[in-house]
Structure 1
């Protein structure tokens, strides 16, 4: 069966077909290159030994899926060239994979040390639905090929509808992520099938001997697999796997609900913080009423500023305010950089009184937003839950269908606010900066 997309055709993989051995698929791929682009075969490295792979796994702290381990015993990556050997995608060496894993862990550590959420997560999609976690970045994604920050590799931390070891795309520009194969063995066999069927071609340079200009679909000016991830997934994944329903979101309330003196202490702390932040916002709105000046967001620090008019607000605003949004005040009326130092000092004083000393998003900026983020008359504590001896979760009344949850930690005998997150279903929580929820 052929799956058609314009002039491009991919073979529809049979749902009950088990993949051939990795060794057999590599034999077929190499045989195709020997016939169609023999100049490129020398770019493939010899395989790594069992001991080398074991040493890599120990150093990297990962366990590669068996098909990947078998593949690297045959070829430990390739030379870095203009176009990669696997449909234009590079095959990285174990050394380069290890560097990518280290970078991923450093990135993750930086994210966890901050109180900011990643707004890039919101743009992420998964095909099939919930097969891949909707994240911009996940340390469980092991890149086997990285081309300028865009990668493909194996997923060791799949979504609820996925399978461990599935092959996916991810990286800097890869908001839309696809499962490309259920395993590395499936992926290599699919590549061999398409090469032999004539669906793919390498276009060699006519002027520079041995140089591959591109590798993609026959009849298209493609360069690498990332040009047709969707088409590939539709043709290669079992229909039952593609047609899964979204995974159910089950509400979770960790720990146990508590009352009494400890719960009261937590309530006083959180509501005290909300009151302080509410007073802070109202103070600066009196000094600079940004909504009357036609703005819903102002962020400024010593290096510059960002302004967003009222019409860009995602929150429904009164029509009277929106009528003024097209006439936002010029910078000359905004008193830019006049109040930054004082505002930053005030915000940091609140943090010092109520919060743990972790890295805080935008704590060096004066941020104003309208409507205000904190309203002491609106957000009150509804429940306190104890997760551990030194960890409490404090839930507040929902605002615009979103419930805030404050994470409290005990530091040197004091309870302090560490993080804040929000949810609409109590199943999925999004970390939000204490400074009005912005990402860092």
Structure 2
């Protein structure tokens, strides 16, 4: 069966239908495993053991319950160079996974990998026996994220295993998206746009920031979204954007407030990140000046996302537009863009000013969220504006996956 030529060009629909070809999830999983195995070979790894939600999902397709703050301690996926895959799952996931994940041959129950004694028990009775059976006693093993106690247990029960960086392998494979990945991100974007539109529609004097979140999250779940882009949905109004207050609060939205909405959506493991600032009522001239600067900065960044350009080129395009309009010193003290895909926020970064930031050459199929934020103090109703879209690198520049309309009342030109 051939892949349809327009796969990923738009959101085709979420359902399994008999009248057209959509994403073939079995083929997608198989392709991912083969690409990871190839990259493991290049990195000299005999096996890979991942615990981060997005890496486990990418390799195995596992959708699991997430306990806030403990996600990398719940479920693991082992992949060998030969292609063997084993899941180590929190006990509450095992029965369901064995029933519905028919493509996985071996699944074991483990505890939450936090209590020292339980970790030791898991290594003695589950993890070490699996390594022995798969002849990995002296393997070079790539890891992504785990508790320090787990490192100790490798030294105790599998002392000949050579631990290495496995997250770099996963980041490399996940960097450029396939058409199927983009198709799933298009569905996430369609949900994220609807979520954002519901939030915008809820903005009026007398509602709280949390009321806006409630309307948005209803839409997220109604349309089949899995979760928001962030665990703490970001709605900030008025002076809460100067500087940004990055979670929704009990603050009451008032006439003349700028209101920023950043909730997004996850669908089938893929994220879309979208943010919009709108005005409650009528804007001031200063608010319009700030919004207009951010609007053109965002569009300059999108246009700069061409194959062969770098993330630094995109950052420069964004900041130049801000400087040209007099706001060069008012950008938020955070990167102005980040990778997005099966991770809600992943490398590479645009405009990361902290030491060690990588310069990355853009290639077609990379996906990033571009999110310039400028804030100015002492503006009545708030002087902070962020606008954000999820963008894929296309042959002639960035192609937005998210489409939520901008607020024309805030645009000067």
TM-score (norm 1): 0.25
TM-score (norm 2): 0.26
- Greater radius of gyration (CA): 1
